Structure 1
Amino acid sequence: MTQPMKYEQAIVIGGGITGMLAAKVLSTFYHQVFIIEKDELPDSPENRLGTPQAFHPHRMLPLGKQIFERLFPGYTKELLAMGGFNTLHQTSRFITKDGELALTDTEETAVTRRAMLEWVLMQRMLSEERVHFLEKHEAISLQFEEGTNQVIGLIVKDRHVKPGIIHQMKADLVIDTSGRMSKLPKWLKDAGLSLPQTDELSVSLGYSTRYYQISPKAPNLQSMVVVGQPNKQIPTGLFERVDHDLVAVLLSAAGGSHYPTTDADQFDSETAALTHPAIAEAITHLTPYTKPKGFRVPSCVRHHYEQMQDWPSGLLVMGDALCTLDPIHGQGMTKAALEAQTLERMLKQAQENGRLSFERNTLKQMQHANELGWWLCAIADMAWEGVELKGGKPIPHLTFVQEYLNRYVQYAVQTKQAERLEAYHRMHSFLTEPREILNLEQLHDMIQSDSSGETAEWWRQWDKENNELNRAFFHEAVPEFHLHNLLHTN
């Protein structure tokens, strides 16, 4: 549908981080923005019932921080003033079975609990004149204009009084940011629409987190990652400073054969069984602050709504309701920020050029924002036995890509090239194309630096013995994600 867009009222379903990002962008274009939130808004920075994962560490990647700071200037400074841990000039340890590297953070970033992240955003949004929170409200169904495929609003239930009061809300645009439990697939089916096949990464992920308090007498403790060994079912361990006096220790494993313990007596012993004893040694200087708490992710799902020729006008979807990434990789908030930036860019284009299939084009661009994260999650998680990719296209040369990246990290660690490891982290932060790491020239460097000859021997099974054919093989194995198109704001 190409009728002119109206900018009177927009509705966002869900008042989490993605919802507030969406509302912030919409408030520049729409006269009124309503956030429908089923939980009661907290009076202080505390976890909500609707965010069961909020207990666990949440990581803001550099790109996400850049977008948050542009939309919410001073966001990082405010978090630091409230007790967030400042990573500027802090050194962290990256530990593998092959050794370790130290990396020094060159950016000011606040590491804190999700409740604090949400609280600061919420206070900003409550002060926005055009934005209105409707707490204790539940989205019941979409409202369509009779006889058309145009969404014109939402049926909502006000839950302040039992059993609730149901009423209609009109809107020129509805955006679903309600997360992995989104009702959107059911609503679309109820409207008589057929849904495309979803991609599903059956990950059977489990992780467990325990917080420890830092005493004044504790030595200076660096954040660290102890990389797991999927082939031996050894979990990954994370030791991260959170706020000025707390440390979060997180154990994670995929595949479902073993979920990290939530038993307080066993947690420390499982930590000691990691690939390296560094985390176990560090917590001997700390005092347990909480009991361990677990979280399970059966699968990650990627919807392909952009493929629907009859996608309703007046409707969009963002965040985990569109595509869920494995949360252990810490990319979710940055993905949401990229989607918000995409929404902003597409709304600007719609104002300049008219509707021009605004909704479907926006969904296509948001799917582009999800491509790299989905590819990276699938590659990392499928190293664990029991993880399976269902639906969609298989990943070309999966085993080669997995083994190459393992050898690349081994090469960076053993040769003490911190800049190589930083490039690896930049790729996982959506700032570097995978082809800048996975290429024939980089492989030759790895082979030359390996005096044992193991890398050269490994490469023989893939070698076409012709540079042109080998480059073609790399291009087939490693997609081009066109990050330069994704990252610009205009």
Structure 2
Amino acid sequence: MNEGIHFGRLEGELSAASSPVFSRAIVIGGSMAGLLAAKVLSDRYNEVIILERDELPDRPANRPGTPQDHHPHRLQDLGKSILEKLFPGWTQDLLAEGAYDREGKEMHLISPLAALQFPYEKDEGCSRPLLEWVIRRRVMAEPRIRVLQGHEAVSLRTKTAEDKVTVTGVRVKKHRGSDVEELQADLVVDASGRYSRLPTWLEEMGFGKPETEILHARLAYSSRYYRIPEHLQNKYSTVLIDGDPSLAEGSGVFSPIEDGLAETTIYRAGGHYPPVDPDKYEQAAAELINPLLAEILAQLEPVGNPRGFRVPECRLNHYESMPAWPIGLLVIGDSICNFDPIYGQGISVAAAEAAELGKALEEVGSATDAGWELKLLQRFGTIILPAWWTIVVADLRWPGVNYEGPLSRRGIEFCQKYLDIVRKQALQGGDMELFGLLMSVQGLDKRPSALFGEEAVRSILIRCKQAVWLEDELEAGETLGVFLERNLPAFDPAS
């Protein structure tokens, strides 16, 4: 079949690499999720094509397909460890490109409960464009991977046999063009992100649309770059000032990145929008619950005007619960679930999904193994659920934030109150072990059951001298175990 687009690959180019099992995979979208998926797929597919709408920059730079890349990004430890396995030494690449070495610099965590200061552990500060460029450069160096820039997927190619639908490739066209060409593939992975057209494509194929949970976060943040003077360049690693969300108080972040610059962000949820007017930006920083950010900004030189970004809603598509699924199709990253970006979970969840994809491919004997794609999406669900539940619980503290979905309101309110107790003990009580547990669960390094399991809740409340509180929260005759089972998700795969 004439596929229209050819790369002229020679089989001999791959002789030094591991032997692939499958022929071709196509990844829709050159996002971080798409890059990580392509890297994993290249171990098992003879050819991996990334379809990317943008013409990609040769150096770290903002691009239209990532409108949030002007704003701060961070990786949880889970994501960092997976990236290190996929791209050994990638943090040295960041440092070689001017990333900020945070190790030993001052970390300030300021909240209504306490103000903490401690030296930062080993880490690198960088912009999203630099992070993506470093990973993209590694991916594009893989001999089996090609990036088709300036092209977008129009629809999926399919065939039907014995009542089974198989995705056989993608119809593509140049961005803003009209001529449609076809690419054949054994596997298509949708990594096109928050605005994925997969729900529509599935409905057109007769599979219906997935059930969806929606968090109407109405989040907005305003970010600005500053040049750091020499006398401050080795002082701060990060400054995080958290307001009380129940009072609609804003939060702010200061974080040095590459080339002597710092990113600053002021953010709120629930429809309260921080300013993008340069004359009002630093005044907004001064209105935070602590003056430290404003004091720092007064010593810095602004670089450009503030830029805003709004996230009206976050959405979880339950593809894993669909009764039937096409052969040869997967979805990953924000195309499944897009998170409130403030918590820095999106890239780490995508990395964990890519790692799980790698495990699944090792288990698949051939491209025709029945049902492995849907089973993998179910495994993705166990990765996504803890992160999704965390942001729902956190963001519903803001007035003006609403949630549509099956999560128990009683369970959410219970966990909000419980977390208030835990934070007070950790921050005001100086319980750093408990603080570390809280951060590990929020950072996806530990399952939520380490904090919200029955045994954990009882022991932590005793530790916080708040065991009586539990009696007031439970109904007459109700046990904690029954309450948690009915009102919290089943986080652990075995449960």
TM-score under structure 1 length normalisation: 0.90
- Partner residue of 2:385 out of 371, 378, 390: 371
In the other structure, the counterpart of 1:450 is none
Give the alignment partner of residue 158 of structure 1, picking from 166, 174, 183. 174
**What amino acid is aligned across from residue 286 of structure 1 in structure 2?**
L
Change (3 A) 1:284 1:457: farther
In structure 2, the residue corresponding to 1:291 is in which secondary structure?
strand
Per-residue deviation, 1:116:
0.6
After alignment, is 87-96 or 339-348 more displaced? 87-96
Q: Shift of residue 474 of structure 1? A: 4.7
Number of residue equivalences = 469
| Equivalent position of 2:152 in the other structure | 138
Aligned counterpart in structure 2 of residue 359 of structure 1, from 348, 359, 373:
373
2:241 paired residue number? 226
Aligned position for 1:385: 399
- State the Cα distance separating 1:10 from its structure 2 match: 0.5
Q: Secondary structure at the match of 2:473?
A: coil
- How far did residue 476 of structure 1 move? 4.7
Among 197, 210, 221, the alignment partner of 1:196 is: 210
Spell out, residue by residue over 1:103-157, the C-alpha distance to the aligned partner (whole angstroms, 9 max, x if none): 4433x32221111111111211221110011001110000001454100011000
Q: Is the 8 A contact 1:335 1:369 kept in 2?
A: yes
- Classify the secondary structure of the residue corresponding to 2:464: helix
Q: Partner residue of 1:110?
A: 124
Distance in 2 (alpha carbons) for counterparts of 1:60 and 1:11: 26
TM alignment of 1:315-464, pairs within 5 A: 315-351=329-365, 355-438=369-452, 439-447=457-465, 458-459=469-470, 461-462=472-473
Q: Deviations over 1:205-228 (max 9, x none)?
A: 111111111111337234121112
Identity %: 36
One-letter code aligned to 1:152 = T
Whole-angstrom CA distance in 2 between matches of 1:199 and 1:478: 16
Partner amino acid, structure 2, of 1:231: S
Matching residue's letter, 2:132 = E
Please give the alpha-carbon distance, in whole angstroms, between the structure 1 residues aligned to 2:191 and 2:177: 25
Aligned residue among 42, 61, 64 for 1:27: 42
Task: Find the partner of 2:104 among 82, 89, 103.
Answer: 89
Deviation of the 1:354 alpha carbon: 7.5
**Is the contact between residue 102 and residue 418 of structure 1 (CA under 8 Å) also seen in structure 2?**
no
User: Contact 2:190–2:331 at 8 Å: present in 1 too?
Assistant: yes
Task: Determine helix, strand or coil for the equivalent of 1:285.
Answer: coil
Tell me how far apart the structure 1 counterparts of residues 485 and 366 of structure 2 sit (CA, whole Å). Answer: 37
Distance 1:423 1:241, change over 3 A: farther
Deviation at 1:269, TM superposition (A): 1.0
Contact 2:155 2:172 in 1 (8 A): yes
Residue 437 of structure 1: CA displacement? 2.8
Q: Note closer, same or farther for the CA distance 1:464–1:390 as it changes in structure 2 (3 Å cut).
A: closer
Give the residue type in structure 2 aligned to 1:209.
Answer: S
Opposite residue 436 of structure 1, the aligned amino acid is: A
The Cα of 1:407 is off from its aligned counterpart by 2.2
Between 176-185 and 244-253, the greater mean CA deviation after superposition: 244-253
Mapped to 1, the partners of 2:207 and 2:94 lie a distance apart of 44
Which runs of 5 or more structure 2 residues have no equivalent in the other structure? 1-19
One-letter amino acid of the counterpart of residue 284, structure 1: A
Contact 1:177 1:320 in 2 (8 A): yes
Report the secondary structure of 1:167's partner residue: strand
Q: Does the alignment pair 1:481 with 2:491?
A: yes
Q: 1:348 to 1:440 in 2, by over 3 A?
A: same
Q: 1:104 to 1:410 in 2, by over 3 A?
A: same
1:418, CA displacement in angstroms? 2.5
Shift of the 359–426 alpha-carbon distance from structure 1 to 2, 3 Å rule, reads same
Q: Residue 297 of structure 1 corresponds to which residue in structure 2? A: 311
8 A contact 1:205–1:253 mirrored in 2: yes
Residue pair 2:22, 2:366 contacting (<8 A) in 1 also = no
What is the CA distance between 1:241 and its match in structure 2?
A: 1.9
Structure 1 residues 6, 164: closer, same or farther in 2, change over 3 A? Answer: farther
Aligned residues of 1:111 and 1:241 also touching (Cα < 8 A): yes
- SS of the residue aligned with 2:360? helix
Distance 1:409 1:79, change over 3 A: same
**Partner Cα distance (2:58, 2:315) in 1:** 33
Q: Pick from 32, 37, 45 the counterpart of residue 60 of structure 2.
A: 45
Distance 1:395 1:85 in 2: 42
Partner residue in 2 for 1:452: none
Q: Is the contact made by 2:275 and 2:284 (CA closer than 8 Å) also made in structure 1?
A: yes
- SS of match in other structure, 1:337: helix
State which drifts further: 347-356 or 135-144: 347-356
Among 185, 207, 217, which residue is 1:171 paired with? 185
**1:270 match: secondary structure:** helix
1:51, CA displacement in angstroms? 0.5
The answer to whether the 8 A contact 1:197-1:391 is kept is no
SS at match of 2:290: coil
- CA-to-aligned-CA distance 1:439-472 (integer Å, 9 cap, x gap): 111111212xxxxxxx577555215699x92454
Partner amino acid for 1:216? Answer: E
Give deviations 1:175-225, integer Å, cap 9, x for gaps. 000001111111112222211321111111111111111111337234121
* Greater shift in the superposed pair: 75-84 or 409-418: 409-418
Q: Which runs of 4+ in 1 moved over 4 A?
A: 455-460, 463-466, 474-480
1:255 aligns with 2:266: no
Contact 1:198 1:392 in 2 (8 A): no
- The answer (yes or no) to whether the contact 1:14–1:176 under 8 Å persists in 2 is yes
Aligned partner of 2:82 in structure 1 is: 67
User: Deviation at 1:376?
Assistant: 0.1
Q: Offset of 1:395 from its aligned partner?
A: 4.7
- Root mean square deviation, CA, Å: 2.3
| Paired AA for residue 376 in structure 2 | T
CA distance in 2, matches of 1:459, 1:307: 34
Distance (whole Å) between structure 1 residues aligned to residue 109 and residue 144 of structure 2: 45
TM-score (norm 2): 0.89
Residue of 229, 236, 243 corresponding to 2:258: 243
Question: Partner of 2:211: helix, strand, or coil?
Answer: coil
Q: Which residue type is aligned with residue 451 of structure 2?
A: I
Q: Which residue of 1 aligns with 2:13?
A: none
Determine if contact 1:204/1:254 at 8 Å carries over to the other structure. yes
Deviations 1:147-174 (A, max 9, x none): 5410001100034xx7343111000000
Gap change, CA 1:15 and 1:442, over 3 Å in 2: same
Task: Name the amino acid aligned to 2:82.
Answer: I
CA separation of 1:311/1:470 partners in 2, compared to 1, >3 Å: closer, same or farther? Answer: closer
Cα distance in 1 between the residues matched to 2:282 and 2:117: 24
Against the structure 1 CA distance between its residues 222 and 45, is the aligned structure 2 distance closer, same or farther, given a 3 Å change threshold? closer
> Which runs of 5 or more residues in structure 1 are unaligned?
448-454
Question: Is the CA contact (8 Å cut-off) linking 1:435 and 1:479 kept in structure 2?
Answer: no
